[in-house]
Amino acid sequence: MLAVSAASKEVLRNEGQNSSFLPDSQESGIFLPAIRRSVAIILAMKNEPPDLHPQGVGRGCKDTAPRDTPSDKVSTTTLTETELSSVTVFKGRLMHVKLDRVRLPDGGESTREYIIHPGAVVVIPVFENGDLLLERQHRYPLHRDFIELPAGKIDAGEADLTCAKRELEEETGYTASEWREVTTIYPCIGYSDERLAFYLARGLEPGNHGRDPDEFLEILRVPFGEAMDWLRSGKICETKTVIGLFWLEKILDRGW
């Protein structure tokens, strides 16, 4: 089981009180003091209204086809692979596995095995004083607990932002009054079409969660500085959470 500091658990029992912060890092550009962090988040969200996109299209990940790139950076040689045939070899509750025959750029043929995923959202929930709302959850494939940002899969036909609001409340019981789209990434491009849409959430209010019967997790309220210390030490090592925390750091430090 993954150990959680007593200080963080104390914050959970007294969410109405101010958190005790670890000393800010002395490294330049790593952490902002608590008040400046909170102000930075407010300004970042107010200065850039949400620029929402339909499902399947996201900020932050652009096509690098030759037509969009200066000729001195990328050649005009096509790298496209064309589907010749496609077979579904496994159809599960969450994902499907496909086996395709493809035409290669040089005219040859090969096979591609990959996973079809519905896509998911990741929420970066930030309290008024700069604390983060995180989760501790057991992940069966690796048989260990992980500390993560709230996240969940997108239902068929569901808009990304609608999913983000639903997942935050279902998993944690919290709702948020302010939302900002952050970025979209593709974490497993070698074997899946999975897409992760990230949102920053503020104006958090506690309520009742609506977790699935087979969903068990612990909610943590953690100072931003402590969360970054956990990231550096390896206590936080799960991909979407690492990416979300580094994005938040850039939002605070550089106004991304």
Residue ranges, the chain, pLDDT below 50 = 6-33, 35, 49-57
The structural domain count of the chain equals: 2
Is residue 23, in this structure, part of any structural domain at all?
Answer: no
Helix, strand counts (H, E) of the chain: 5, 10
- Which pTM does this prediction carry? 0.76
Q: Please state, in angstroms and rounded to a whole number, the distance separating the CA atoms of residues 199 and 51.
A: 11
99: amino acid identity, one letter: L
Q: Range of 166's domain?
A: 6-15+30-53+118-254
pLDDT at 212: 86
Do 157 and 40 lie in one domain? The reply is: yes
pLDDT at 30: 34
Shared domain check, 177 and 93:
no
Of 239, 158, 186, the closest CA to residue 62 belongs to 186
DSSP letter at 126 equals B
- Residue 22 covered by a domain: no
CA atoms of 160 and 52, how far apart (whole Å): 8
Q: How confident is the model at residue 10, as a pLDDT?
A: 36
Are residues 179 and 88 located together in one domain of the fold?
A: no
Q: Is residue 59 part of a domain?
A: no
Task: Tell me if 58 is assigned to some domain.
Answer: no
Q: Looking at the domain assignment, is residue 128 inside a domain?
A: yes
Residues 128 and 40 in one domain: yes
Residues 10 and 104 in one domain: no
Determine the angle formed by the axes of helices 239-254 and 34-47, rounding to 10 degrees.
90
pLDDT score recorded for residue 116: 96
Q: Where are the beta strands (DSSP E) in 21-172?
A: 82-91, 96-103, 109-116, 120-125, 132-139, 144-148, 151-153
Q: Are 140 and 101 part of one and the same domain?
A: no
pLDDT at residue 15, rounded to an integer: 39
CATH code: domain of residue 228? 3.90.79.10
Same-domain status, 122 and 154: yes
